[in-house]
A and B are shown apart, each in its own frame.
Chain A
Amino acid sequence: MFLLFFFLIHGYGSVSGFVTDASNGEKLAYANVYLENTEYGGATNEKGYYIIQNIPSGDYRIMYSYIGYSLKTLHIQIQPDQNTTMNIELSPEVIEMEEINVSAERLRFEKEVEVSHVTFTPREIKSVPGLFEKDLIKTLQLMPGIVAMHDLSNKLYVRGGSPDENLVLLDGITVYNPSTHLFGLFSTFDPDAIGDAELYAGGFPAKFGDRLSSVLDVATKEGNSKKLAGNVSIGLVTSKLMFEGPIPKGSFLITGRRTYFDALVWAYAKITSDTISLPYYFYDGMAKINFNPTFNDRFTFAGLGGLDIITFETQTDTASKEKIDLEWGNRGTSLRWRRVFNPRFYGEIIGSWSNFLTHFRYQDYEDPTSNLHFYEEIIDYTMKSDFNYFSSETHTTDFGFDAKHLRIEYNLDVTEQRLVEQREHTNLYTVYLQDKWSVIPHILSLQAGLRVIYSTLGERKSVDPRLGLKYHITPNMAFNCSVGKYSQYLITINSQESYFSIFDFWRIIDTLHATPTSYHVIAGIERWLDDNTRFTVEPYYKHYYNLLLPSDNAMMFSAPSESLKAGEGYSTGIDVFFKKSFKDVFGWVSYSLCFTKRKIGNQYYSPRYDRRHNLNIVLGYTLPASIPVINKSVLNIRWYLATGLPYAEDLARYRYRHFYSRNDYWYTDYEWFVLNGPRDARRLPISHRLDMHLEKDFVLFGLNGSWYIDVINVYDKENILFHTWDYDEDPPEKTEYTLLPIPVPSIGVSFKF
């Protein structure tokens, strides 16, 4: 009776809104929001949105806090059966950025039911030493469970999965070939434009699908909604420009990047009257426009585009003889409408177009019969919706619908005659539903989801259940568990085991083959030793069915192959991650133990990306003010130690004698044949490497700037990539090849305005 009376006289209300950065309008994910001297509180989600429900009506003081930002306290009156909207801007304080991220990760630890998840800030991405250029993918390769094939590799092999099993999203646009620049050495993502990046190394939620291994979700910055700002960077290989600023009821951001080695070589040739030229360059750019017509609506237009171009022409004294043009690149746009329908119901609808094209033309001006023209592209039209319904304090329901039209076209013309003209297309329709249930608040949470996919090609469907659990053993330690099924309707037909691949050739799974699926089982412990120290241990097991595997012949460069072999496989291992941040020092240690096998027929083998052990140490240190010249600069070092990769070794040689049965002199004529071992016969030697990055801020003519020096392979470790045998020698002579035979320095400078 007392409770009934209490309810009747009070009534309940709620408060909701967005928390953003007052300096530039960027969202603040996982900021703390709570009512002073009460138990009512919460945190913003990854979009910076929060809602606190079932607050008894009355007057309160609401507090917003985020490490690195000043605390904001406001008076609020909660009315019965009403929601109060409070969109808040927090002002940054002078505190290192990495601490902010640690804090966000800590809040995420308390709020979310997820495993194998890491987030990155631009500062972290830039702090990792890079070869000529900072790169998101290079930073991700330092996370547990992720390995790189070699010193220059820019592909992600996540927990024994190949790169084509990773879903890569940029502002909602699916990026099919994220690491295409400079023959796979640079990724599409410009670190200056990245707002944040999230990686699910496994056990990803029902919101994501269509890939077997992992999800990389990259969001560009929102664009500064307060003032015009920009950044110019000049490096050894590329120069970049970023410009951002406010527009009426919104903001914009635009970036551009181009290599200029070709221009420098051209200028040098002009000056010296030399004939040398560099027939390669790439450029890319991103753009984003935010428009907020009302408090509850936001429209975001995002676009990306880039192209790698090789143009090579041979000339006689008087005229061109032959010409080769090769172009490839990613393009895409998305339009996102985010709406707060009511304080409990929040959602967004995204329409996107993504395209990757490959274009090769060979023209022989003297003999047109040799002309060749190859054109391939993948086109993806997607309409996607994601909704969040905060049904109660203990339940949050996510659901959405996804319609995707995929089209792959490839043509081959020889001597202006069309030899191949192929068109593949399918429509994929997906619905998902996911509920996060706080069974025992702050102690036990469950997340159950279901993703159903229907493909019009072959009229096949997949039902992919997902289940996650988080149990807080103590407030600072939790047990995480996740199981799920994952399906993929696209594959690549080029070998993912090759050391270098400029781009992937995607194909839709045809009706003759079953849909590739994988099952993830992950269980781990996450422990926070203090607010800035995270420690995780995650064993996992992943099993694959219905894989389509290209042959192992392509070791160096991957080439498309239509003769795929059906197979299955598994990967299992344990990932350990320790991340720590002090005032002047931050860093992490990641260790992965992984066993990866694929099976064709009855034969198991280790694919070439099966690294057994992988240890990474990253350390950042702000040098003290007492050091001359480089005082207060940031020194980052990165060191790794890893097992060598498996490879097919020549085991022995023997004489093969040519037999001519019409005479008796057959045995004198022979040649040496080689006995090839299995594709995983041997492993390359252990590899390790130390890289350094030193960056210092300065002010020049009133402009804030910074310069950096990177040194890759500081102590000149020659990590062997492959070797060859010279069979003309007896015994055969072995020659080893490395990618970084010397320490490689690079420098750069950037200005902010």
Chain B
Amino acid sequence: MQYRIIIFFILIFQITFISCGYDEEELYEPQLNVCCFLQGYQRPRCVIVDRSYSMDEPSEGFIPDAQVIMRGKWFVDTFAFSDFDGAYHSTNPFSNIYPESTYSLTVFRQDFDTVFAQTCVPGDFTIRFPQPGDTVTRTDTLVWTKSTGARYYYGYFVDWHQTGYHFWHIPDTTDTLVRMPIPYYLYDLLSGHYTIQIQAADVNYLNYSQFDENTDSLLQAGVEGGIGVFGSFVSHDVPAYFLTE
């Protein structure tokens, strides 16, 4: 009996030793990393095609040999890579982006999953206050009409140096107007002429800009099969004079 127990323990020892050293299964395959934002009433901007890297891989620059196709209601646009800026650019002169329209993006590259992305451009809107040339003070409230489909509004006070003072706002859902008091965090804005720029952003734009790598999981803002963002926005601006009290 004792010999059997000794043999039993030798077996356990061997099994333990073998089992303790796990063969790690591959938990992650590198994916394409696609970034593209569309702006209403503009031609498509560039598409950046990059990839993710396993921890032991050295990084590379942009991926130049992907196939990038954007589709709208009235166009199909095959993008071409530019060595100048490492981005893909539109080749179809009739590609135009319109509010409340849906656009898709397909990125294919050998050895990677194909990325499919989609965005619906938010509806147009009008800035009600300020009007061009108005004076704005800290106690004023910015007012604009609600953009259909917009999940978020970004804005800037852009001074004559082209320095932008950023602010943001989540609209309430009941009113047809969006009202936003001048944010307290713009307390250091000096008196002067500014261009007030307001952008209505879609949900992908919102998810991308608010992504937190520590708490959120995979960065997929409107993107499937890879990581990245395919977002859109509509932008309007108005010149105004900002007066500190």
Chain A residues engaging chain B, CB cutoff 8 angstroms = 529, 533, 535, 576, 578, 589, 591, 612-613, 615, 641-644, 649-657, 659-664, 666-667, 673-677, 681-683, 685-686, 725, 730-732, 734
| Complex-state Cα separation, A615 to B18, whole angstroms | 12
User: Given that A677-B28, A683-B24 are known contacts, is A731 also in contact with B154, CB under 8 Å in the complex?
Assistant: no
Q: Which of A613, A661, A685, A725 contacts B39 (CB 8 A)?
A: A661
CB of A644 within 8 A of CB of B213, answer no
A529 touches B1 (CB 8 A): yes
Q: How many residues of B contact A (CB 8 A)?
A: 59
Contact partners of A652 in chain B: CB under 8 A:
28, 30, 52-55
Given contacts A578-B9, A683-B22, A686-B21, 20 further A-B contacts (CB under 8 A): A529-B1, A533-B2, A535-B5, A589-B9, A612-B20, A613-B16, A613-B19, A641-B17, A641-B20, A651-B28, A652-B28, A652-B53, A652-B55, A654-B51, A654-B52, A655-B33, A675-B218, A681-B27, A686-B20, A730-B58
CB atoms of B227 and A654 under 8 A apart: yes
Tell whether B241 is near chain A: CB-to-CB under 8 Å: no
Docked-complex contact A731 and B57, CB < 8 angstroms: yes
A674 to chain B, nearest CB (A): 6
B156 at the interface (CB under 8 A from A): yes
Structural contact, B12 and A576, CB atoms closer than 8 A = yes
Considering the complex, give the chain B residue whose CB is closest to the CB of A612. B19
5 nearest CB pairs, A to B: A654-B52, A686-B20, A651-B28, A613-B16, A643-B20
Residue-by-residue, is B31-71 near A (CB-CB < 8 Å gives 1, otherwise 0)? 00101010100000110101111111111000000000000
Docked Cα-Cα span, A576 to B45, in Å, equals 66
B22 near A643 with CB under 8 A, answer: yes
Q: How far is the CB of B136 from chain A (nearest CB, A)?
A: 18
**Residue in A closest to B9 when the chains form the complex, CB atoms:** A589
Q: Are B55 and A725 in contact (CB under 8 A)?
A: yes
| Interface SS, A side | strand
Contact with A along B215-243 (1 / 0, CB 8 A): 00111000000010101010100000000
Pair A657/B235 contact, Cβ less than 8 Å: no
Residues of A within 8 A of B5 (CB): 529, 535, 578
B171 in contact (CB, < 8 A) = no
Task: Judge whether A661 and B50 touch: CB under 8 Å.
Answer: no
* In the complex, chain B residues whose CB is within 8 Å of the CB of A676: 213-214, 217
Contact residues in B for A642 (Cβ distance below 8 Å): 20
Contact A654 B50 (CB under 8 A): yes
Residue of B12, B39, B154 with most partner-chain A CB within 10 A: B12
The distance in angstroms between the C-alpha atoms of A704 and B221, with both chains bound, is 76
Is B209 interfacial (CB 8 A cutoff)? yes
B194 to chain A, nearest CB (A): 12
A664 touches B22 (CB 8 A): no
Is the pair B219, A673 in contact by a Cβ cutoff of 8 Å?
yes
Q: Identify which of B156, B199, B211 contacts A656 (C-beta below 8 A).
A: B211
B90 within 8 A of A: no
- B53 — which chain A residues lie within 8 A by C-beta? 652-654, 731
Q: Give every chain A residue within 8 A of B22 (Cβ-Cβ).
A: 643-644, 683
CA distance A651 to B199 in the complex (A): 35
Name A537's closest neighbour in chain B (CB-CB).
B8
Determine whether the beta carbon of B55 is less than 8 Å from that of A677.
no
Bound CA–CA A641/B45 (angstroms) = 58
Chain B proximity of A678: nearest CB distance (Å)? 8
Find out whether the CB atom of A661 lies under 8 angstroms from the CB atom of B233: yes
Q: List 18 contacting pairs A-B, 8 Å CB cutoff, sorted by A.
A: A613-B16, A642-B20, A649-B27, A654-B219, A657-B35, A659-B35, A661-B154, A661-B199, A661-B201, A662-B158, A662-B164, A667-B46, A667-B85, A676-B214, A683-B24, A730-B59, A731-B57, A732-B55
**Chain A proximity of B36: nearest CB distance (Å):** 10
In the complex, are the beta carbons of A662 and B48 less than 8 A apart? Answer: no
**Closest Cβ neighbor of A732 among chain B residues:** B55
